Structures are given as structure tokens and as C-alpha cells.
Amino acid sequence: MRPDPRSVIRAVQRRLRLGRDLVGLLSIGDDVHDLPPSLRWSSTNGHPVLLAEPMPALRRGQFALQPLRDRLPYHPRSPEFVVCADADGDVELTVLFLDRNGGTTGTARGGSEVRASIPAGTSHVRVRLTTHRTRVHRIVFGHRADGPKHVDGTAPTLVLSNDYPRNDDLYANAFIHARVRRYLDGGRQVDVLRYQRGLPFETDTFDGVGVMSGSDETLGRLLEHGAYRTVLVHFLNRGMWDNLRSRMDTHRVVVWIHGYEIQPWQRRAFLVTNDEQRASAESASAERMRLWDEVLRTAHPHLHLVFVSRTLLAQVEEDYGLTLPIEQYSIIHNPIDDERFAYGPKPVDQRFNVLSIRPYASAVYANDLAVDAIRLLSAEPEFDRMRFRLIGDGPLFDATVAPLRGFGNVTLERRFMTQAEIAATHRDYGVFLCPTRMDSQGVSRDEAMSSGLVPVTTRIAAVPEFVDDASGLLCAPESAAGLAAAMLRLVREPDLFGRLSAGAAARVREQRGAYQMLQAELALFEA
């Protein structure tokens, strides 16, 4: 008996969320004969979907899709072969076209998408994905029907994002969902579209919010047939832009700029460790900057940009060699739910309790520095009174935290947490350890500050825009010793801990509390 398509696809998505496995989703026409026996299959919208088994990471960030590397057949009626990777960061895809004897008929290479005509005589393809500690959400091959003939939007506003939370993936742009909930609570009706290249049309519900999923065809139909006056965009990509730019005469388009999606590779050069990685990063960066240069220089009265920090705005103007007209943009920080993350005066003994809740998907989060800082503290007499709890998930988790496994006062939890769980956990801790190598704001840090935890973080990028000497402790970049010294100072100076705890909560409510930030966002609806 063939499995239910939705259950199979959800199972695949759950594996992808973990960031440890890669699963290939493949649509190759309307037939499923001659499939490798190691592939399972189902269908959606009447088109077959092949589900490859998960496979381990190879050396140096190389990933091969098994059993795709063993020559996956394609349907001969397909006019072209398409590979798309939905990823947080730089990826490179390589497609090798093969004849029946395994000989090469052609190759194609690109960043997150490869679209190539199939050379004559091709019988199979071999695909390789190269990542550099990048979280890959899904990989889509071939052609896929994108949705029904008619997709009608019902609200005046469309929220368009590259991802959105699911019941089995709570962290997928959770801060966008928090916005949507506030919009709805404020009486603004919105539709939500989770846009990814190659994603078939479907609908689901998360936390009471109806969510559509789809790709170019779905987005095009929504813009054509929907009642939208405004489109609110997060993590703009080429596919979104190609659909939106021709419709700005009839739609107001507001684009949020969060950071990594617009930055040249040099802003995150610390992720590159060899020439191969550099070449890949440069290629992906050039593609990304071509898109954003086009967007930034589009002087259309219906296009408005939102930067989450002044630091990010300054970086973008420097990187792209321009000065944006003041009427073209707004500075609106990511709003922090200061009601959920409520402040109550911290017991002074909580200065001994240190919390870290971070992704472990990239060196950006500097979790290695946090680990080194804790190891340095172990030489201090106060260490035995301290309690550390590190929570997170991602492919780097096990290797990063391994040096701490011998300490009895260190708790390690490989998992993600709901917002409610995070807020409840905040109540038992006084210090939030969150070094970084790049940050345009830092939502998890700000949530902790809202709860009264004192941030111990890094004086880099946009961090000083949100944390000052009255609301936290800022340490030199790449300094585990500085982080250790800051935590030790809080232990030894209880009065300082109390002042900074209250100052952290006050800073969030003054600068980026949910009410004032969302009022600024809601004003964009009527602009």
C-alpha cells in the first residue's frame, strides 16, 4: 500500500529540520518506472515525488545525495533539468549528465539553483551539493506542478517569506509568525505564503494561522487574482523579485532586510577556510549582490525597504556604494514580545546561573567561544557554584559542546524549544551567554534581556546598537577570555548584576518592545 503523500513529505521535512540529514525531493514527469530500489515514492498533485534516503556528511562540507550519485534516471519527456536548494547561506550545486554507459554528456553548475537543457543522449544524472556549514532545508529536482488552476487571496495584505513555522519545525522564521499573530490581533487581515522554488502548492495551519506553500506559479496566481494591496516580504530572493517587480504599479511592496540575505561574502569571511570554499562563496555572493543591486536601485514609489538596524543600513550602503533616499526606507527593529518575556526582579543568586540558547548551524553564532569561556572559568574558585545550561540544535552541536561533557555543573540539551518553553526557562537564569561573529540585531538575546537576563556578548556589528554598558557586558571579538572575565565579574559583583538585569529589561522595552515596533510596521499597511 502506497503511503499518504502528505505524511511522507512531512516525515522528510522533519528530517530536514534537524540539519543533520539531506533528503532529495524529485519530480520527474508522470511516470515512476525504472526507479532505483533504494528510493521510496509517493505522489502529490498527480506528479510523482521521489524521496531519497538520508545520508551522512562527507569530508570538508561535501554532500552527495544518495542514491542520486549512483545515476538517478530522469523522465525523457522533461525538457530541462532543474535543481533548487533552499538553504540558509552559500551552497553550490553541480549536475553531471550521463549516458546509459556512464559517459558524460554535459555538466551544469550554479549556486542555489541550476536550470539546464538536457543534452542529447542523456540517460541519468548525478548531483552534488557543496555547503560550508550551511543549513539546507530541502532540495528539489525536476519539474513539479505548483498548484491548482486558481489561487485566490482573501486578505488585503500578503506576507511572503522563504519559510514559516510548522508544527514539526518551530524555529523556521518564528519571529515572522510572531508578527503575523500581532497583525491579526490588531485587526489586520493577512494571508501567508511560504515561498520556495519547486515547492508544490499546499495549505496548512500553524498556531491558528492559515499558511499557503508554493513557488513561482502560486505566487504569480496570488498576485494576479488576489485582493492584495500590500505585499510584506522577508528574505527576498530572485524568484520572489521576478514576480514582484512587474507588479509594483498595482501592489505596494515592503521588503524587510535582515542581514545575511543581502551581505557580500566578505562580511562573513570567517566561514571560509580554504580556496575551494572561497570560490564558492564568491560565486554565490556575486549572484546575491546582482539581485540586491537591482532592488536597491529600483526607484519605484511603491517599493519600501525596512532595515532591522541602523548598522545594517550603513553596511548595505557601504557594500553597494550608494546612499538610499530617506523616503525609500525605514529602520524598524524586530519586535520583542515583552509580555511573553516578562520582567521580574532577578534573585541575586541567579547571577551564578548561565543560559545559552543558540542554533548550532554555523560559526556565526560563536558557540565555540562560549564553550572555551566555560572551560576557562573552570579554573576559578567560583566555578563550582555556577550552573551552565546550553540548549540548541544543528550539525555542529555535538562537536562544539564535546569539551564540556565532563563537567557536572554543565547541562547540554540538543533540541529546539517553543517560545513558551524559552520564556519559562528564562525565569531560572540570570545570565545569557551569547557571543557572536556577525549580528544585525539578535532576537534570542533581546528576548532574554526582556526577561531580565544579563547578556554577555560581543562588541561587534550591530550588537552595540542594542546592548550598552547599562544593559549588558560587551566583550572584544574572538575573546573567550573576555567572556569568562565578564561572567566572573557578575558573580563577584552582585550589585552590578542587579543593575544590568533591570537595565537590560528596560532597554528592550524602550527601544524595541512589541507595541512600538508593531505600530511602526502597521503604519506601512496604510502608507
* pLDDT tens per residue across span 281-330: 999 999 999 999 999 999 899 999 999 999 999 999 999 999 999 999 99
User: pTM for the complete prediction?
Assistant: 0.74
User: Rounded mean pLDDT of 375-385?
Assistant: 98
Domain of 425, CATH number, reads: 3.40.50.2000
> How far is 415 from 392, CA to CA, in rounded Å?
5
Q: What is the pLDDT of residues 189-233, one digit of tens each?
A: 999 999 988 788 888 888 889 999 999 889 998 998 878 999 999
Are 120 and 243 within one domain?
Answer: no
Q: Which of 50-59, 209-218, 502-511, 513-522 has the lowest mean pLDDT?
A: 50-59
What is the rounded average pLDDT of the residues 53-80? Answer: 36
pLDDT of residue 137: 53
Q: Name 111's Cβ contacts closer than 8 Å, sequence gap at least 6.
A: 90, 91, 92, 93, 283, 284, 287
**What pLDDT sits at residue 29?**
28
Which position has the higher pLDDT, 326 or 65? 326
Residue 18 clears pLDDT 80, i.e. is over it: no
In a domain, 122, yes or no: yes
Residues 136-140 have a mean pLDDT of 55
381: which 3 cell numbers? 574558585
| pLDDT for the residue numbered 17 | 33
**148 occurs within a structural domain:** no
pLDDT of residue 376: 98
Q: Count up the domains in the chain and report the number.
A: 3
Cα separations (Å) of 179 from 69, 186, 192, 489?
A: 42, 10, 11, 37
CB contact at 8 A, 100 and 74: no
Is residue 234 within 8 A of residue 257, CB to CB? The reply is no
Residues 21, 434, 383, 390, CA torsion sign: negative
Mean pLDDT of 236-245: 95
Handedness of CA 152, 156, 160, 165 (dihedral sign): negative
Span 45-54, average pLDDT: 34
- Cis? peptide before 403, omega within 30° of 0: no
What contacts 502, CB < 8 A, 6 or more positions away?
343, 345, 452
Whole-number pLDDT of residue 124: 66
Could you tell me if 325 and 201 lie in one domain? yes
> Among 156, 144, 163, 159, which residue's Cα sits nearest to residue 189?
156
Number of C-beta neighbours around residue 325 at 10 A: 8
Specify whether 492 is located in the same domain as 359: yes
Rounded Cα gap, residues 462 and 312, in angstroms = 7
- How many whole angstroms separate alpha carbon 74 and alpha carbon 69? 13
Asked if the structure places residue 89 within a domain, the reply is: yes
Three-class DSSP labels, 421-435: HHHHHHCCCCEEECC
| Distance (Å, whole) CA 457 – CA 463 | 8
The domain of 365 spans 348-511
Query: What residues have CB less than 8 Å from 125, skipping those under 6 apart?
Result: 68, 71, 72, 74, 81, 95, 96, 97, 98
The Cβ-side half-sphere exposure at 486, using a 13 Å CA radius, reads 26
E strands along 235-350, which residues?
252-257, 303-307, 329-331
Q: 404 and 371 in contact (C-beta within 8 Å)? A: yes
174 and 60 in one domain? no
Average confidence score pLDDT of the chain: 81
What pLDDT is recorded for position 167?
79
Do both 136 and 189 map to the same domain? no
Coil, strand, or helix at residue 85?
Answer: strand
Q: Which residue has the cell 498548484?
A: 147
Pair 200, 117 in one domain: no
Phi, psi of 384 (to 5 degrees): -65, -20
Query: For residue 14, is pLDDT > 50?
Result: no
Q: Comparing 420 with 132, which gets the higher pLDDT? A: 420
- 448 and 466 in a single domain? The answer is yes
- φ, ψ of residue 123 in degrees (nearest 5): -120, -30
> Cα(327)–Cα(302) distance, rounded to whole angstroms?
11
In a domain? residue 177: yes
Same domain, 128 and 170: no
Better-scored residue on pLDDT, 248 or 227: 248
- Is the domain of 131 the same as that of 174? no
Q: Are 201 and 220 in contact (CB under 8 A)?
A: no
**pLDDT at residue number 107:** 79
Shared domain check, 161 and 134: no
* pLDDT at position 45 over 70: no
Neighbours of 85 (CB within 10 A): 24
Q: What are φ and ψ of residue 156, in 5° steps?
A: -80, -10
Q: Could you tell me if 322 and 370 lie in one domain? A: no
d(CA 465, CA 516): 17
**Is 385 within the bounds of a domain?**
yes
